Structure 1
Amino acid sequence: MQYLEGRKYVVQAIFLTVALVFAARLFYIQVLDGSYKLAADRNTLQRLVQVPYRGLIYDRKGQLLVQNTPVYDLMVVPREVKQLDSARFCQLLQLPLEELRASMKAAKAFSRVKASPLVQNLSTPELAAIQDNLIDFPGFSIKARMARSYQTQNLAHALGYVGSIPPTFLEKPKYAKYSPGDFLGISGLESFYEPILMGRRGVQYRMVNVRGIEKGAFRGGEFDTLSVAGQDLHTSIDIDLQKYGEELMAGKRGSIVALDPKTGEILAFVSSPTFEPAMLSGKGMGNRYMDLLNNPERPLIDRPLTASYSPGSVFKLVNELVALQMGVVTPQTGFDCNWKLVRCTHRHEPPRNLSVAIKNSCNPYFYQVMRTALLRGRSRNAREDVRLGLSEWRRQVMSFGLGDKLGVDLLNERKGLIPSSDFYDKRYGLHRWNFRTIYSLSIGQGEMQVTGLQMANILATIANRGYYYTPHFVRGIGNGGPLPEYRERHYTSVDQRHFEDIIPGMQEVVDGRNGTGNLASLAQFGISVAGKTGTVQNPHGYDHATFAAFAPVEDPKIAIAVFIENAGFGGTSAAPMAALMMEKYLRGNVAPYRKRWEEWVMRPAESFIRTH
């Protein structure tokens, strides 16, 4: 009996201990720990994400280019939709029934209990029609947000556009903060600077009753976070110069890129044909995008950045600089204009020195310059010597920012191509090619490819006598400056003194008697210009025209490259266009009597072929 009495107390002690543990745990949950209370409260909470004010975009003079304007989306929570009168709903919104069904299906696939956009960018009549009748459609609500609006009709390719986040993006950790229906930068500066422009989202928790009526802030806003507005972008673009460039290039295919050599800031970035930035915003944007995509003129192509061409005779400047650095020629070196080696563009005085050769763009001269650089006086049939010489030549050429991305603050930049020995080995076979196979590189033809941005950067490098800054659009973020990488100088492998050797010839191109680019002269305004014309062979039609220059020679403020497809000789079409752009930037306006030059360059590209 005593044994049984002892067991009774043990069992009682165990039950008492368990009861005390449960009581203590219950006290902790109900009194000390508020997490379970919060979880229960969430059934009556409404989580509102506060989308911050997106940063604005300005030009270099402080002119507003892109701002925000309020728009409204119709949101839906599928589980709360009860006995939807589809016919009436579609009539109010002028929405096809098939589109409503597809949108509802997409909303259910996302979530039956979370709000997602059903119709975005409601027009004012649509908003008025549905808002007055919203009480009859449970599960639907209006959400206000800010959309981009444009104060300029220009610079579409560089500005880019903002669009609804694609579903595939939501699966990536990079976009974890975004939800279906959120907007973000899709292209251009809007995309590159997305983290800076978007700011930081905030969250507010609101108490609601079973009818969805707001009853105030949850716990006095204890768990709320404030949104932080995005920072503004202050670009280097001169929007007046940009507009003028687009007018000059209207009806043509090509590009104009203008840089400030002293900073690498992009002054103008013309891609033609182009479109208005507003076409890729607002209601119906998807249809307009498809129209642009299917346009045979391909206006969506960002030509200065993604279209690569042979540079033509502009590249002769780089070829000569590399040869000077290698010590195989001097400014006084002369070569015959031997048409048996390669055909020259026209008859001219013997190229007795470098300046004469540049002025007349003598093909045989630069052919012999490159051959000398690659072979160092050895036999032109020495294939291994050519192979080794090309590798050294290419290394120095690439120091000008060619054959690789420059690092501009836009996505999708093309590298271009400076062919290597391995490239030709794969194409022709080891030891199965020689200088005669690749001589077209000496005059900027053949397999070589550069972009319009790279071509302008070549002239900026020459203007700086041997270095360049990475070209960039944004000169200020918020109250600060550009990103640090855009303040670093990039030096070429060529000594400064050699750049001084080629500039006199470049001035002769523009201001010399019978210079190939004398239509680019600004001597009447007291402005000295150094430039180079180019005519790029095109196997698919008329030749392309190019001209690149910088001015003033003594204190360079602008470097420019103009490329016009199928316009023939660069001195006839591209050179006067570059002159007008430089005049506009350096003087602030174009002289009234220069109207005839504007009319000249605004003609169709093919008309320059007939003129020449």
Structure 2
Amino acid sequence: MSVFTQPRRRIVVLLIAGLVLLLTSRLFYLQIVEKKYQRLADANAVTKKIVYPSRGLIFDRKNKSILSNEILYDLVVTPAAVKNIDTSYLCSILGIDRTAFKKRIADAVKKNGKVRPSVFASLLSASSFSQLQESMYLFQPGFELVPRPARTYPYKAAANILGYIGEISPGLLKQDNYTGYQSGDYIGLTGLEKNYERVLMGQRGTQYIVKDNLNRPQGSLQNGEFDTAAVAGKNLRLSLDIELQVLGEELMRNKVGSVVAIDPATGGILAMVSGPVFDPNLLSGSARARNVGKLFSDPTEPFLNRGIQATYQPGSAMKPLTAIVALDEGIITPDFGYPCLGAYTPCNRTIKCLHREPGHAANMRVAMAHSCNAYFLHLYRLEVDARKWGGVKNGHARWAEYMSRFGLGHRLGIDIPSENPGFVADTTVINKRYHGNWNSCSELYVGMGQGQVAVTPLQMANAMCLIANRGYYYLPHFVQSIDQDSSDLLAKFKERHTVARISDTAYNAVIYGMEDVIEHGTGKGAQIPGIAVCGKTGTAQNRGIVNGKVTDLKDHSVFVAFAPRANPRIAIAVIVENAGTGATFAVPIANLMMEKYLKDSLPASKRAVMQRMLETSTIPLAKAELSKIDSLNTTTGMLTTEQVMKKYFH
């Protein structure tokens, strides 16, 4: 053997001996000195539990809590661990039979497998929870009680705004947006709860529980040394005025439609009502799943947030925007008049007006006050036929661009999901409709808010902010601030969107014309003593399928407004489906809400109007007879008509 081999062998032996000594020392430390890993690995003695944080609260503009947290419990099962339990007793507590028990176990396996926990019975009633809490050792291992956040709503309002929470689905767990969530977690599924999920959810904690040989909890492992605390979610501060929201929902009970009110100075939404309304408490607690099913199947579609998801032809409520385009482009001046004698006839068809007397469209202000159809149809044609555009197609493209700048035909970007973009026909759509052969007469109806245009109530209210501010608006939004948050999540809602830079003189022609509508026109019912209200009534055409044929149905009642004229504090849009002209329902509903917001009370003189709004249903009889909303709301104690009247008129 070479003399050089011996030293090399010694080195290898020493290295191996050193590694063995190092590993032995580490194992001695971990197993004898440090007890942490030994205890955590002892599955028979220690259980890891998730501690769910308190979900963030939501407050209105006056710092009133419009929802609160409540802790309920789910019974969770790990199918592989279920052995030799008292099945009969568990079934009696839950009020189910053995067949249902087996089906739930099978569903759990199908959903999450045998070794992962699944919800066996969600949001237990107080009596079921009490019995289970006393007897859990009989059902372990395999079953455990897990606390879950549940919401309660003291004002019984704003269901479609706030949204609701529920267990995350397997499909959502696969999405990148929900990284870090696990089966059984509760998340925001709709509304603000969904849009601000990451803000409201908080941060989960963990707790290690020591159990005895009967699997009964004995306390925290090493006095909680290995536990991590849950961090509560952040609170949202809204622009919403919950009292105004409640009034709007009371007025829209037994009606299909929407009310949207915005603060023009900030873009903050003061109220968004979607009728028919339902109590959000129906979506919380042990009856949630059953109530959700009933609401989804209701023919009046209460889950459809008509404020942002339904679209309507705006009718005459569109006329102020038609006027602004003509003024901004310099096509007319505020003194421009049209010799209307009761109808518009230049396009080889007769389109009637409400007025026939000479001079009712002598200038912009007068035409606005009289809502002259001929005047605004003619304005549209002047706008798209102007020589500077070089043809009607370019002119209409310019008009469509204005509508987009006004916030129509696209999503505004409100901070709740599922906003409908609405529709404004551009040249591509009209070319397809008329095979490229068309002129300004083809779609002139858009000048008076009919034809190829459909808007959401939110877009209509936002357009009123634009006029009230004389040329700019802020993106409509609910959340004004987030507690302890320094991100730029809300930055886009602080940016001013300037649309038209016409003179105050030109704007005044539109605005004072809208004030005249209220003072001595079709919007008289919106008058508020001592406050200058500017508004525009409308009647939206309503067509539907009856017996397989497209049929004209009862028109929708439309009204848009803002007040006061100087330094406006509220802009509003109201639409009530199947209710006739704007003056019948939309005007009085808007009036009651504006006066309540601006004066904080309703005068005795409004008692009769309020009574009529509360007692009248505009839901088509066929749908009303099948609807279950009234009976569902009754179960949660929503106020009756008599109680509502007493609340506002002592």
TM-score by length of 2: 0.86
- Pick the aligned partner of 1:22 from 20, 25, 28: 20
CA distance 1:518–1:13, shift in 2 (3 Å): closer
1:278-289 matched pairs, under 5 angstroms: 278-289=281-292
The residue that corresponds to 1:271 in the other structure is 274
Using the TM superposition, give the Cα deviation of residue 120 of structure 1 relative to its aligned residue in structure 2, in angstroms: 1.4
The residue that corresponds to 2:514 in the other structure is 506
CA distances 1:193-252 after superposition (whole Å, capped 9, x unpaired): 111111111223345566545566556655433221111222222222112112222211
CA RMSD of aligned residues (A): 2.7
Q: Matches of 2:485 and 2:24 in 1, distance apart?
A: 55
Q: Matches of 2:463 and 2:492 in 1, distance apart?
A: 19
Q: Matches of 2:581 and 2:117 in 1, distance apart?
A: 60
CA distance 1:30–1:588, shift in 2 (3 Å): same
Instruction: Note if contact 1:93-1:129 (Cα within 8 Å) is conserved in structure 2.
Output: no
- Pick the aligned partner of 2:469 from 446, 461, 464: 464
Q: Matches of 1:578 and 1:133 in 2, distance apart?
A: 56
- Pick the aligned partner of 1:574 from 586, 591, 594: 586
1:69 partnered with 2:70 = yes
CA distance 1:12–1:560, shift in 2 (3 Å): closer
1:307-456 matched pairs, under 5 angstroms: 307-337=310-340, 338-341=343-346, 342-349=350-357, 350=359, 351-376=361-386, 385-429=391-435, 431-456=436-461
Q: Matches of 1:489 and 1:120 in 2, distance apart?
A: 46
Q: Matches of 2:7 and 2:242 in 1, distance apart?
A: 92
CA distance 1:209–1:600, shift in 2 (3 Å): closer
1:42 partnered with 2:46 = no
Higher mean Cα deviation, 25-34 or 465-474? 25-34
Instruction: Note if contact 2:86-2:138 (Cα within 8 Å) is conserved in structure 1.
Output: no
- Pick the aligned partner of 1:295 from 283, 295, 298: 298
1:488 partnered with 2:495 = yes
Instruction: Note if contact 1:59-1:235 (Cα within 8 Å) is conserved in structure 2.
Output: yes
Q: Matches of 1:172 and 1:101 in 2, distance apart?
A: 30
Using the TM superposition, give the Cα deviation of residue 89 of structure 1 relative to its aligned residue in structure 2, in angstroms: 2.2
Q: Matches of 1:505 and 1:13 in 2, distance apart?
A: 101
Q: What secondary structure is seen at the aligned counterpart in 1 of 2:444?
A: helix
Report the AA paired with residue 347 of structure 1.
H
Instruction: Note if contact 1:466-1:496 (Cα within 8 Å) is conserved in structure 2.
Output: no
Q: Matches of 1:179 and 1:458 in 2, distance apart?
A: 43
CA distances 1:433-454 after superposition (whole Å, capped 9, x unpaired): 2222211111111120110011
Using the TM superposition, give the Cα deviation of residue 74 of structure 1 relative to its aligned residue in structure 2, in angstroms: 1.4
Unpaired runs of at least 5, structure 1: 608-612
Report the AA paired with residue 150 of structure 1.
Y
Using the TM superposition, give the Cα deviation of residue 26 of structure 1 relative to its aligned residue in structure 2, in angstroms: 3.7
Aligned pair count reads 596
Q: Matches of 2:379 and 2:8 in 1, distance apart?
A: 106
Instruction: Note if contact 1:344-1:362 (Cα within 8 Å) is conserved in structure 2.
Output: no
1:474 partnered with 2:479 = yes
Report the AA paired with residue 489 of structure 1.
R
Using the TM superposition, give the Cα deviation of residue 116 of structure 1 relative to its aligned residue in structure 2, in angstroms: 3.1
1:527 partnered with 2:528 = no
The residue that corresponds to 2:567 in the other structure is 555
Q: Matches of 1:12 and 1:153 in 2, distance apart?
A: 83
Instruction: Note if contact 1:519-1:572 (Cα within 8 Å) is conserved in structure 2.
Output: no
Q: Matches of 1:320 and 1:486 in 2, distance apart?
A: 27
1:605 partnered with 2:607 = no
CA distance 1:333–1:47, shift in 2 (3 Å): same
Instruction: Note if contact 2:254-2:619 (Cα within 8 Å) is conserved in structure 1.
Output: no
CA distance 1:182–1:478, shift in 2 (3 Å): same
Q: Matches of 1:149 and 1:48 in 2, distance apart?
A: 25
The residue that corresponds to 1:124 in the other structure is 126
| Percentage of matched positions with identical amino acids | 37
Q: What secondary structure is seen at the aligned counterpart in 1 of 2:423?
A: coil
Using the TM superposition, give the Cα deviation of residue 479 of structure 1 relative to its aligned residue in structure 2, in angstroms: 5.7
The residue that corresponds to 1:536 in the other structure is 540
Using the TM superposition, give the Cα deviation of residue 143 of structure 1 relative to its aligned residue in structure 2, in angstroms: 2.3
Using the TM superposition, give the Cα deviation of residue 269 of structure 1 relative to its aligned residue in structure 2, in angstroms: 0.9
TM-score by length of 1: 0.91
Q: Matches of 1:5 and 1:264 in 2, distance apart?
A: 90
Using the TM superposition, give the Cα deviation of residue 11 of structure 1 relative to its aligned residue in structure 2, in angstroms: 6.3
Q: What secondary structure is seen at the aligned counterpart in 1 of 2:170?
A: coil
Q: What secondary structure is seen at the aligned counterpart in 1 of 2:392?
A: helix
Q: Matches of 1:82 and 1:18 in 2, distance apart?
A: 48
Q: What secondary structure is seen at the aligned counterpart in 2 of 1:560?
A: strand
Q: Matches of 1:113 and 1:442 in 2, distance apart?
A: 64
Using the TM superposition, give the Cα deviation of residue 502 of structure 1 relative to its aligned residue in structure 2, in angstroms: 0.8
Unpaired runs of at least 5, structure 2: 545-552, 621-650
Q: Matches of 2:586 and 2:353 in 1, distance apart?
A: 17
Report the AA paired with residue 490 of structure 1.
H
Q: What secondary structure is seen at the aligned counterpart in 1 of 2:68?
A: strand
Report the AA paired with residue 487 of structure 1.
K
Q: Matches of 1:387 and 1:61 in 2, distance apart?
A: 50
CA distances 1:401-434 after superposition (whole Å, capped 9, x unpaired): 11111111101111111111112223332x3222
